Structure 1
Amino acid sequence: MSEALEQSDLREGYKTVKLGPREIPIPDEWDNVPFDEAIELNPKYEKPDNGPFDYLPMDAVDEEKQTIEYWTQREKDDCTTTWFKNGDTVYAKITPCTENGKIAFIEDLGTEVGSGSTEFLVFHPRDGVTDERFVYYLSNLPEFRSVTISLMEGSTGRQRVPSDVFKGGIQVPLPPLPEQRRIADILSTVDEQIQQTDEIIKETKALRDGLLQDLFDELIPNSGRKETQLGPFQVQIPEHWEISDLDDLNQDDYPICYGVVQPGKHDEDGIPLLNIEDVDETGEIQRESIHKITPDLHEEYSRSQLQGGEVLVSVKGTVGNIVQLNEEIGEANISRDLARVTPTTDLDARWLKYCLSTKIYQDLIDVFSTGSTRASLNIGELREIPIICPPISEQDRISEVLSTVEREIEIERENKQHLQDLKRGLLQDLLTGKVRVSVD
């Protein structure tokens, strides 16, 4: 389909405007203005002499939630040339942060002005022209982001969006100010619901993690306790429970191993190659965008082929993420970044997943991990991780209770996904005027 919109395709009361290389329809009464007429780029603020100031590192912006996870503080002389106030939007200008959507709305700033990474652009609403939250949502519009990404310059891996492109180089659709505010209100309401759902998920996860110790007492009463070591950590467990190395609880025919080192090009008719992000919390494989390898390579790495029901541990990059696969997954293999564990009949895979996901085991995995820039967990070290091993009947009882909590978490995740899909649709429809809002 052509990028250009034929006049006959336009709804009555709409006109076509350019946003980068694309033409999009917007309402007749909306303006289409140069970016710098609607939004001030990198405003110059007066900085008080007294400090310290709130400082925003790039890592502090969560690219999925587009929230600020933490602030640091710096004295004035240690701050960068990037300054902002409450109501501004920060927009990452360097790859891969731009592509990943590191964008955040500045609020709850604890100092009059704040500073941040020089890799942020600062968008400030022009008084009487743009609403501050509308600016934030406009910067999230897929067409706007695509334009900025297409205009990046520099060497591979260090490309940046140049500031000059915002000075007459980009046009943006602009509704009347009352409509901007109403659009921002609607999208903010959805964002608040997503945030509330995140909090419920976080609290339910904390409940799940805290349940293990409570279950020791409630499901297994009248049992003495003994002190035992988990690496450098000392814990109390029931006297009749055992501690075994993970390798001793793994099936001999399917040794603990990592997967394919060099997967090669995507083979559309090939075998799915799993990374940790390709498996959801229910153990289902997300097949839409998964990389596939040739059947020959799959056979070459027969050692890491999957049968279903295994526990996968991320051992490269983000170390210690744990998932359990469903029993029926079809043919699949794993990447170099994953290790496969195939429990014996003495170890419930659900129990292993819950154990390795607890804080003490995550801390233990950190102890075993090496590397500062890209952490890794050696397979030999993984095999030697000591696993708390109750009798299988008790593993099953505890896992059943924890599975109930897991189902609650999954329900909230599905609710969050629905809200995120709703937001994406509203963002597109409201910011292009496809769906109009009442401002009465």
Structure 2
Amino acid sequence: MVPDGWKIQKVSECLERVVDSVLPEPNSMYREIGIRSHAKGIFHKEPVTGNSLGNKRVFNVHPNCFVVNIVFAWEQAIAMTSDDEVGMIASHRFPMFKPKKNRCDIKYITYFFKTPRGKYLLELASPGGAGRNKTLGQNEFARVEIPLPPTDEQKKIARILSTWDRAIEVTEKLLNNSQQQKKALMQQLLTGKKRLPGFSGEWIQLKVGDILSVRNEKQIPSETTPLFSLTIENGITAKTERYNREFLVKNSDEKEYKIVKPSDIAYNPANLRWGAINYSRLTHDVVVSPIYEILYVKDITLNNLHFIAQVLMSHRQIAKFAAMVEGTLMERKAVKIQPFLATKISIPSELEEQQTIASVLSAADKEIEILEQKLGCLRQEKKALMQQLLTGKRRVKIDEEEVLVKEAVRA
């Protein structure tokens, strides 16, 4: 069912190909564009000489065009060109399209192909097997049918979604800045290069095993002690289908798992080199896979858990762990518990300095967490808007357009 006032049009009826061939000169420099899958936009390749392009067919990039990577169209390798790409070139694998007789708004078209429906249509128009054999067919794409509202409504929808995109972009930059600031703080505070006011005590080197003890308590999962997992992204977190492999284990109900108590540190020996280490922020016991190593602070009157965790989770320390992996096959490489415990780290001798540093870094973590939550909300809200606006389930009136734009600006 097409919404009132909308029309179904084929791509060939609303878009036309932009072809501006380039004959590369051997000694001139050229810069190609690339298109990321999953609708993540255009990137610029390093400049190359015309001679290095060989016999490749290339074309001038025009701004404000819908462009697609025909090899990965099924994976939504699509984008819209801008003034940033003027003067660059694209290979024959990246055809560009502009509106035909103003029948559509190119931003609207780009947003449409970012939707699940748009992805489905690109897949249908890409016959062949998986991977590089699954190529967007010129004729198949021309026959793809798109539901189009009147051009004015297309422009309003595109304006609303563009405003949300800008809000997302601003939040991403703020998040990146906060993450870089936290990284700089860790490099300074966790090495003693920068001392916080009021502290002048010495820093000492200790083995991790002098600070932490191994916990090797086990039990079967229960309602009061549920099964959790350790992920690089979220730390010690509830088990999800993605990480659930228990169906592979015989008699999994009787399998014993390692207990993790509040504030325990856990790491995955096989993935520690990628950052699979964290501490439990939970207020109750949980159990995790017996492949993990669980540790706790021996004496909390001497060492602060949050400080020690920050040291062990730092990029600098993870790089050191990466150099400690043992094993021959990639899947069997791991950082075993004894080398882990033998690792030396530098810490303040005063507990109060450890606590103060941990508080500063925890505040930075909180700021990052807030921005991550905000970014997640913005993306979900934009996704919901796309589902409503690009299907006609929600029609845009002038007043409502202003409201939606203001909501994005406030966000």
What's the TM-score once normalised by structure 1's chain length? Answer: 0.68
Are residues 426 and 276 of structure 1, via their aligned partners in 2, closer, same or farther at CA, if it must alter by over 3 Å?
same
d(CA) in 1 for partners of 2:19, 2:99: 13
**Structure 1 residue runs without a partner (length 5+):** 1-15, 17-25, 224-238, 256-269
- What is the match of residue 326 of structure 1? 281
d(CA) in 1 for partners of 2:272, 2:64: 35
d(CA) in 2 for partners of 1:171, 1:408: 45
- What is the match of residue 38 of structure 1? 14
Written as runs of structure 1 = structure 2, the 5 A alignment for 1:29-428 is 29-40=5-16, 43-47=18-22, 49=24, 51-57=28-34, 61=36, 63=38, 66-68=40-42, 71-79=45-53, 81=57, 83=59, 84-91=61-68, 98-99=74-75, 101-115=76-90, 121-127=94-100, 128-149=102-123, 152-156=126-130, 158=132, 160-164=134-138, 166-212=140-186, 213=188, 216-219=194-197, 221-223=199-201, 239-244=202-207, 246=208, 249-254=211-216, 273-277=229-233, 279=234, 284-285=237-238, 287=240, 290-294=243-247, 296-297=251-252, 302=257, 306-307=260-261, 309=263, 310-312=265-267, 315-316=270-271, 319-320=274-275, 322-328=277-283, 331-334=286-289, 340-345=293-298, 348-365=304-321, 367-368=323-324, 378-380=334-336, 385-391=343-349, 392-428=351-387
Are residues 330 and 74 of structure 1, via their aligned partners in 2, closer, same or farther at CA, if it must alter by over 3 Å?
farther
Deviation at 1:199, TM superposition (A): 1.1
Are residues 89 and 366 of structure 1, via their aligned partners in 2, closer, same or farther at CA, if it must alter by over 3 Å?
farther
- What is the match of residue 6 of structure 1? none
Report the structure number with the largest CA radius of gyration. Answer: 2
Q: Would you say the 8 A contact 2:14–2:104 is kept in 1? A: yes
Amino acid across the alignment from 1:350:
H
Are residues 313 and 405 of structure 1, via their aligned partners in 2, closer, same or farther at CA, if it must alter by over 3 Å?
farther
Q: Would you say the 8 A contact 2:62–2:85 is kept in 1? A: no
Identity of aligned residues (%): 19
Amino acid across the alignment from 2:274:
V
d(CA) in 1 for partners of 2:326, 2:51: 35
Are residues 322 and 253 of structure 1, via their aligned partners in 2, closer, same or farther at CA, if it must alter by over 3 Å?
closer
**Structure 2 residue runs without a partner (length 5+):** 218-225, 400-411
Structure with greater proportional helix content: 2
d(CA) in 2 for partners of 1:108, 1:301: 60
Q: Matched residue pairs, number? A: 371
Q: Would you say the 8 A contact 2:205–2:344 is kept in 1? A: no
How big is the alpha-carbon RMSD for the aligned residues of Structure 1 and Structure 2? 4.1
d(CA) in 2 for partners of 1:52, 1:287: 50
Are residues 30 and 156 of structure 1, via their aligned partners in 2, closer, same or farther at CA, if it must alter by over 3 Å?
closer
Q: Secondary structure of the residue that 2:5 maps to in structure 1? A: coil
